[in-house]
């Protein structure tokens, strides 16, 4: 097995979230509610002359667009997400000029496919496992009981459910959310392609590959395994989960 992981260059990340959108775009068929909430062209259409007695695409009660209704048809889970870190401030001086110590950094996160994943240990059903070829952390959803232990155990809350109220459903409810998570686009990397997030990254800040290869390729100044400003990563250090990620920290060139 050649363990795969991510590389993230904070000097290049402009926080655009293209990676997040590309992830949702590619993995739409893997979202937790794909079986219960699917948009079909035949829906939301009313035959000619039948509209008088039928509701239409706009909420008839108050005339507002039906945002919640739209939301059904896309991936709610964030397998990848972007955090913003802000420090410092802008102050207006007595002479009306601005003095700024403000700075902003972005951090694109996903499951880091740890060597010792906390989620695997936490799962009471034992359905989360390290896949053999690339060391990807995968889940066998069929037997998920929606307890959320994996989400709680993971320093980043990388295991996801399509609704925050995932533990409020009856076991027999077909809508009960089952855990889904980043698969490192195993379908794509098996074909020799990049994961969707890496392929999309607008400013080329992300990479993924065998960790050994990444370590060789990226080295030098500002390179860290755990960014000290990121509490989730500090947590993972304490828990010794050994995430498979390398960072280039933001620093002035």
34, 121, 223, 239: which one binds another protein (CB under 8 A): 34
Helix (H) / strand (E) element for 231: namely: helix 231-239
Q: Which is nearer to another protein, 124 or 192 (CB)?
A: 192
Cβ atoms within 10 Å, residue 21: 15
Task: Name the minimum Å distance from CB 238 to another protein.
Answer: 19
Q: Which of residues 157-176 bind another protein (CB under 8 A)?
A: 164, 174
Task: Name the minimum Å distance from CB 188 to another protein.
Answer: 7
Q: Which is nearer to another protein, 14 or 224 (CB)?
A: 14
**Does 24 help bind another protein (rule: CB under 8 A)?**
yes
116, 143, 173, 193: which one binds another protein (CB under 8 A): 193
Q: Which of residues 93-132 bind another protein (CB under 8 A)?
A: 93, 95-100, 102-106
**Does 27 help bind another protein (rule: CB under 8 A)?**
yes
Distance of CA 127 to the CA centre of its chain: 20
3-state secondary structure of 247: strand
Residues in the chain: 253
Distance CA 78, CA 110 (A): 8
**Does 11 help bind another protein (rule: CB under 8 A)?**
yes
Task: Name the minimum Å distance from CB 30 to another protein.
Answer: 4
Distance CA 3, CA 235 (A): 22
Distance CA 232, CA 201 (A): 23
Distance CA 136, CA 130 (A): 5
Q: Which is nearer to another protein, 203 or 225 (CB)?
A: 203
Q: What is the pattern of x (binds another protein, CB under 8 A) and - over residues 55-94?
A: xxxxxxxxxxxxxxxxxxxxx--x--x-xxxxxxxxxxx-
Stretch touching another protein by CB under 8 A, among 112-120, 165-173, 181-189, 233-241 = 181-189
Contacts of 153 (CB under 8 A, 6+ apart): 118, 119, 121, 122
Rg (CA), the chain: 22
**Does 228 help bind another protein (rule: CB under 8 A)?**
no
């Amino acid at each position: 097995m050649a363990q795969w992981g991510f590389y993230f260059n904070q000097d290049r990340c402009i926080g655009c979230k293209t990676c997040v959108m590309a992830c949702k775009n590619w993995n739409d068929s893997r979202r937790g509610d794909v079986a219960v909430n699917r948009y079909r062209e035949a829906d939301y259409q009313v035959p000619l002359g039948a509209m008088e007695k039928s509701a239409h695409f706009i909420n008839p009660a108050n005339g507002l667009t039906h945002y919640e209704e739209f939301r059904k048809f896309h991936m709610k889970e964030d397998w990848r997400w972007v955090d913003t870190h802000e420090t410092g401030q802008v102050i207006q001086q007595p002479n009306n000029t601005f003095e700024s110590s403000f700075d902003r950094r972005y951090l694109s996160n996903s499951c880091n496919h740890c060597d010792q994943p906390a989620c695997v240990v936490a799962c009471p059903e034992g359905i989360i496992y390290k896949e053999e070829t690339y060391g990807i952390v995968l889940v066998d959803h069929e037997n998920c009981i929606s307890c959320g232990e994996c989400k709680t155990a993971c320093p980043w809350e990388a295991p996801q459910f399509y609704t925050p109220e995932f533990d409020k459903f009856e076991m027999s409810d077909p809508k009960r959310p089952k855990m889904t998570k980043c698969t490192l686009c195993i379908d794509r990397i098996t074909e020799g392609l990049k994961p969707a997030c890496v392929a999309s990254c607008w400013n080329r800040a992300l990479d993924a590959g065998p960790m050994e290869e990444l370590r060789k390729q990226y080295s030098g100044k500002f390179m860290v395994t755990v960014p000290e400003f990121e509490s989730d990563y500090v947590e993972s250090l304490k828990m010794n989960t050994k995430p498979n990620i390398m960072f280039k920290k933001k620093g002035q060139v």
